[in-house]
C-alpha cells in the first residue's frame, strides 16, 4: 500500500512537468518506459505495487471472453502491442492494442496530438500510425507466455489511408488474418475521424457484410474469434439503433465509442479547440452513457458492450456499468489521472 501511495503521489507531482512537453513525445517515452518495466522483473514488481492487484482468482465471463476484471486500456494507447506485460502487471483485465493496418503506415503529419487540460481532454489526428499487422502479431505472440490467466488481448484493425473505399473490406480481411491467430478478440474500427471515408462504412449493410466475411476468415484459419465493432459517438440515435441491431444479429459486440468531431462545451483556448481531429476525454462521457444505454435497450442482454470515452473516475466507470456496459476502457483518463484510475475503476466495476 505504501509503494502504491508513493507511486501515485509521484505521478501527481510529475504530471505538470510532463505536460510542458510535446504530448506525442511524452506518450512515446511513456510507452518505452512501460515496455522496459514490463520486460524486467523489478519493473513488473514496481508496476504491480502501484497498480491494482487482482481481487480473486475467479474469472468473469463476457460473451466468449474470460477476464479477471472488467477494466482495460483502449485502442490507440499501445498501437503496436509493445507493453502488454506492463498492462498486465498494472492489474488491468485486458488491453486492446492497435489500431493496426495490414501494412505499416506513418499516419498524419505532426503535430497531431493536443492536450486540452482545462477540459481533461485530448484532440488527436494520428491517422492510424502503426508498424503493421504482422509486427503487432509478433509482439503479441512474444508476450503471450508471460501474461497471467484472465488477461485478455484484443487487437483493433483498420483500413489503410491509401485504400479505396471499395477495397476496404479486403484491408480488414488481410489484417484479421494476420492478427486473429494471436488475439483473444478482434475489434474493427469503422469510426476514426482521421481516415477519410472510414465513417461512411457505418451502415447496417456494410457492417453485416464485413462481419460475415471476417467470420468466414476465422473459420478458414481455424481460429474463430469474438469480434467487436467500434462505432462513433457522433452517430445520432436513429443511426445507432439499426447498426447495433446488425452487430447483435451477427453475434458480435460493440465498442461505444470512438473520438468525436464535436466541440460543444469546451473551455480550452480556441486555438486548441479548433484543431482538426477526434476529441477524447471527459467531454465524451454524457454521449457515451447515452449510447451505451440506448444500444443495450436495442440489443438486449446477450451482446457484449464496451464503454469507451470519458471514463476518468470510479464514478464514471460505475455509471457506464449502470448504463448497460459489460466492460470499460480507459485512455485519456490515464493521461490525466495516472495509474490511480486503474484501481478505482476496477473497484467500481467489481
Kindly write down the DSSP assignment for every residue of 91-130, as one continuous string. T-SEEEEEEE-SS-B--SPSP-EEEEGGGTEEEE---S-B
93 pLDDT above the threshold of 70? yes
Which segment of 8-22, 104-118, 220-234 scores lowest on mean pLDDT? 8-22
Q: At what angle do helices 237-249 and 204-221 cross, to 10 degrees?
A: 30
Q: State the CATH number of the domain containing residue 301.
A: 3.20.20.70
List, in sequence order, every beta strand (DSSP E) within the chain.
60-62, 65-67, 71-73, 94-100, 113-116, 121-124, 152-157, 185-189, 227-232, 253-258, 278-281, 305-308, 327-330
12 pLDDT above the threshold of 90? no
Average pLDDT, integer, range 165-175: 93
Average pLDDT, integer, range 127-141: 98
Average pLDDT, integer, range 326-342: 96
CA–CA distance, 162 with 165 (Å, rounded to integer) = 9
Average pLDDT, integer, range 219-243: 95
State which residues form the domain around 329.
2-349
57 pLDDT above the threshold of 90? no
pLDDT for the residue 126 = 97
The answer to whether the CB of 333 falls within 8 A of the CB of 311 is yes
Domain count, the chain: 1
2 pLDDT above the threshold of 70? no
Quote the percentage of the chain above a pLDDT of 70.
97
The answer to whether the CB of 350 falls within 8 A of the CB of 330 is no
333 pLDDT above the threshold of 90? yes
Q: CA separation (Å) from 40 to 4, 28, 36?
A: 18, 19, 6
Mind listing the pLDDT tens digit for each residue in 254-303?
A: 999 999 999 999 999 999 999 999 999 999 999 999 999 999 999 999 99
Order of strands, edge to edge, in the sheet holding 278-281?
A: 113-116, 121-124, 278-281
User: Among residues 192, 260, 280, 313, which one is catalytic?
Assistant: 192
Average pLDDT, integer, range 149-178: 95
The answer to whether the CB of 125 falls within 8 A of the CB of 194 is yes
127 pLDDT above the threshold of 90? yes
- Taking the alpha carbons at both ends of the chain, their separation in whole angstroms is 20
Sort strands 65-67 and 60-62 into parallel, antiparallel or unpaired.
Answer: antiparallel
Lookup result for grid cell 486473429: 180
Active site residue 192: yes
210 pLDDT above the threshold of 90? yes
pLDDT for the residue 11 = 84
CA–CA distance, 67 with 318 (Å, rounded to integer) = 18
5 pLDDT above the threshold of 80? no
Average pLDDT, integer, range 176-197: 96
Beta bridge partners of 188: 157, 229
Widest Cα–Cα separation across the chain? 56
Which run of H or of E encompasses 290?
helix 285-299
Helices (H) and strands (E) in the chain, counts: 13, 13
56 pLDDT above the threshold of 70? no
8 pLDDT above the threshold of 90? no
Amino acid at each position: 500500500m505504501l509503494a502504491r501511495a508513493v507511486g501515485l503521489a509521484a505521478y501527481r507531482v510529475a504530471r505538470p512537468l510532463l505536460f510542458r512537453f510535446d504530448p506525442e513525445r511524452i506518450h512515446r517515452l511513456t510507452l518505452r518506459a512501460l515496455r522496459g518495466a514490463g520486460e524486467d522483473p523489478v519493473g513488473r514488481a514496481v508496476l504491480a505495487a502501484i497498480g491494482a492487484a487482482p481481487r480473486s482468482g475467479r474469472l468473469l465471463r463476457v460473451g466468449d471472453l474470460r477476464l479477471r476484471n472488467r477494466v482495460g486500456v483502449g485502442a490507440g494507447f499501445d498501437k503496436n502491442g509493445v507493453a502488454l506485460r506492463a498492462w498486465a502487471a498494472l492489474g488491468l483485465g485486458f488491453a486492446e492494442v492497435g489500431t493496426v493496418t495490414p501494412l505499416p503506415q506513418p499516419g498524419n503529419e505532426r503535430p497531431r496530438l493536443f492536450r486540452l487540460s482545462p477540459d481533461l481532454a485530448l484532440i488527436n489526428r494520428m491517422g492510424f500510425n502503426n508498424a503493421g499487422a504482422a509486427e503487432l502479431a509478433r509482439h503479441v505472440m512474444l508476450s503471450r507466455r508471460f501474461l497471467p490467466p484472465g488477461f485478455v488481448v484484443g487487437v483493433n484493425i483498420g483500413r489503410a489511408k491509401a485504400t479505396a473505399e471499395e477495397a476496404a473490406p479486403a484491408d480488414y480481411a488481410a489484417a484479421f488474418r494476420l492478427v486473429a491467430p494471436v488475439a483473444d478478440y478482434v475489434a474493427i474500427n469503422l469510426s476514426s475521424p482521421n481516415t477519410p471515408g472510414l465513417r461512411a462504412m457505418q451502415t447496417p449493410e456494410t457492417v453485416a457484410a464485413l462481419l460475415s466475411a471476417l467470420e468466414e476468415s476465422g473459420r478458414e484459419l481455424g481460429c474463430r474469434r469474438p469480434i467487436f465493432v467500434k462505432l462513433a459517438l457522433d452517430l445520432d440515435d436513429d443511426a445507432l439503433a439499426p447498426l447495433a441491431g446488425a452487430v447483435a444479429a451477427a453475434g458480435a459486440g460493440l465498442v461505444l465509442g470512438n473520438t468525436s468531431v464535436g466541440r460543444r462545451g469546451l473551455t480550452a483556448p480556441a486555438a486548441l479547440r479548433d484543431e482538426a481531429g477526434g476529441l477524447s476525454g471527459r467531454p465524451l462521457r454524457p454521449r457515451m452513457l447515452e449510447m451505451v444505454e440506448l444500444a443495450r435497450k436495442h440489443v438486449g442482454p446477450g451482446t457484449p458492450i464496451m464503454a469507451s470515452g470519458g471514463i476518468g473516475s470510479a464514478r464514471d466507470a460505475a455509471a457506464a456499468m449502470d448504463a448497460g456496459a459489460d466492460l470499460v476502457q480507459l485512455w485519456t483518463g490515464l493521461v490525466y489521472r495516472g495509474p490511480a484510475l486503474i484501481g478505482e475503476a476496477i473497484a467500481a466495476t467489481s
